Structure 1
Amino acid sequence: MAIRYPNGKKYNPSVPTQKKKTYDYSFSNRGKSLEDELNETNEYYLAHGLAVIHKKPVPIQVVNVRYPARSAAVITEAYFRTPSTTDYNGVWKGQYVDFEAKETKNKTSLPLQNIHTHQVQHMKQVNDQAGHAFFIVHFSALDRYFLLPFEQFHPLWIRMENGGRKSITLEEMEECSIEIVTGIQPRLDYLQAVEFWIQRKDIDKDIERQERE
C-alpha cells in the first residue's frame, strides 16, 4: 500500500516488529523498538489503573482500493489527512501528558532532522496550557533512555533555527534530561521520571517565589 503525506511525498515506513501479547522482561527485551517498549508500558499502566496513555492514531484518507476477491479489499494508495503531532498522549493523576518518542543509533548526539516544526509548535501549545510535554529519547547503541522536557528542548531547537548545531549532544542530554532507569515490570517506567520532573519544577517555582518575596 502506498501511503503519502499531505504534500504528496511518499511515506516509507520502517518494517514493523511483531507485537507480543505477553510481557517479556528478559535481556532479549533490549532488541525491541522504543515504540514496542512504550506500548507495553502503557498497557501495564492501564491494567494497573496508573494512567491512561495511548499511541495516537494517524488519520488516513484512502484513495485507491483493489478487490482481489469479492470478500476481500486491499488498500493500494492512501494519504495522511493531516501532519502528525506527537506519538502519545493521555492522562496521569489528573494531568495531561503529551510526548514524542525518538530513537537514535548515534552514540554521541540526537539529530534534530526527524523532529518537525509542527510537532514543536504542538508541544509548545500543550506546554502553554500547563500540560506536560516532553520527549522520550532512546540511545539504542548505549541502551540509555532519557526524558527531555519541552522547556529544556525548546532553547536547543531555537539554537538550530538560528543557524546553530543541528543535534543535541549526549552531554547536553545528560544535563537537560532525566535518565529513565529500566526495571522489570514495566521495564520502561517513564512515569517515575515524569513525577521527578514535576516535583523539581514545583521546587523551582517555590524558590522563585521566595526570591521575589
Structure 2
Amino acid sequence: MKLHYPNGRKYNPIAPIADNKTKKPLKKHSYGNRGMTLEEDLNVTNHFYLESGKAVIHKKPTPVQIVQVDYPKRSAAVIKEAYFKQASTTDYNGVYHGKYVDFEAKETKSSASFPLNNFHEHQINHLRLVEKQGGICFVIIRFSSSDEIFFLEAEKLFHFWERMINGGRKSITKEELATCGHPISLGFKPRIDYIKVIDYLYSFS
C-alpha cells in the first residue's frame, strides 16, 4: 500500500537498523504473550491501566485519506494508495493524576544504540510544546534484540537531538540511555509499567 504525507511526499517507514554484531539469544521469560511488538505491549499495558482505574491513556489514531482501493473479491477490499491527512505527532496520550501525558514509542534491532532518525522533527517540536504547557512527556525505547526497555524524559531527548543538529552523534548509545533514562523490566500485569517511573519522577503515590 502506498502512503503519502500531506505534502505529497511518499511515506517510507523507518525500518529498525540491524546490528552487524553477533546477537545474543533472547532472554526467556516465565510469563505468556512473548514475541509481542512494543506497540502491542503498550496497548495491553494501557488496557490494564484503564481497567484498573489507574490511568486513561490511548494510542492516537492516524487519520488517513484513501484514494485507491481494489476489490479482488466481492467480500474483500485492498487499499492500494492513501495519504496521511496530517503529519503525525506522537503515539500515545491521556491523563494520569490530573496531568496530561504524551509520549512516543520506538524500537530498534540495533544492540548498541538508538538512531535518532527514528524521530521526526515535528514530533520533537510537539513534545517541546507539551513540555512547555507542563505536560508529562517522554519516549519509550526498546532494544528488540535483548528486550531492554528505557523510559527517557523528553527534556533529555532534546539534549541528544540538539547534539545531532549541531553535528554530533546521530544516535543515543545504550550506555547513555542507561545513565540518563530509566530501565523498565517486562512484567505481566502491567506488561510495561511506565506509570511506575512517572510516580517516581513526579512523586505520585
TM-score under structure 1 length normalisation: 0.81
Quote the Cα distance in structure 2 between the aligned partners of 1:79 and 1:64: 10
Change (3 A) 1:141 1:129: same
Comparing both structures, which one devotes a greater share of its residues to helix? 1
- Pick the structure with greater CA Rg: 1
Residue 8 of structure 2 is matched in structure 1 by 8
TM-aligned CA deviation for residue 56 of structure 1: 0.5
Residue 135 of structure 1 is matched in structure 2 by 139
Instruction: Find out whether 1:63 has 2:67 as its counterpart.
Output: yes
Residue 25 of structure 2 is matched in structure 1 by none
Q: Which residues of structure 1 form unaligned runs of 5+?
A: 15-24, 201-213
What does 1:187-202 correspond to in 2, within 5 Å? 187-199=191-203
TM-aligned CA deviation for residue 28 of structure 1: 5.3
Q: 1:160 aligns with which of 160, 164, 183?
A: 164
TM-aligned CA deviation for residue 114 of structure 1: 1.2
Quote the Cα distance in structure 2 between the aligned partners of 1:183 and 1:78: 37
Residue 18 of structure 1 is matched in structure 2 by none
Contact 1:101–1:135, Cα closer than 8 Å, also in 2? yes
Quote the Cα distance in structure 1 between the aligned partners of 2:144 and 2:76: 39
Residue 45 of structure 1 is matched in structure 2 by 49
**Residues 134-188 of structure 1 deviation map (CA, whole Å, 9 limit, x = unaligned):** 0001112222111100111111110100000000111110111111132221121
SS of structure 2 residue aligned to 1:127? helix
Quote the Cα distance in structure 2 between the aligned partners of 1:141 and 1:68: 38
Contact 1:138–1:146, Cα closer than 8 Å, also in 2? yes
Letter in 2 for 1:111: P
Quote the Cα distance in structure 2 between the aligned partners of 1:127 and 1:107: 30
% identity of equivalent residues = 54
TM-aligned CA deviation for residue 27 of structure 1: 4.6
TM-aligned CA deviation for residue 88 of structure 1: 0.4
Q: Which residues of structure 2 form unaligned runs of 5+?
A: 15-28
Letter in 2 for 1:133: C
Residue 79 of structure 2 is matched in structure 1 by 75
- The number of residues matched between the two structures is 191
Change (3 A) 1:69 1:90: same
Change (3 A) 1:65 1:154: same
Contact 1:178–1:197, Cα closer than 8 Å, also in 2? no
Quote the Cα distance in structure 1 between the aligned partners of 2:51 and 2:86: 31
TM-score under structure 2 length normalisation: 0.84
Change (3 A) 1:152 1:4: same
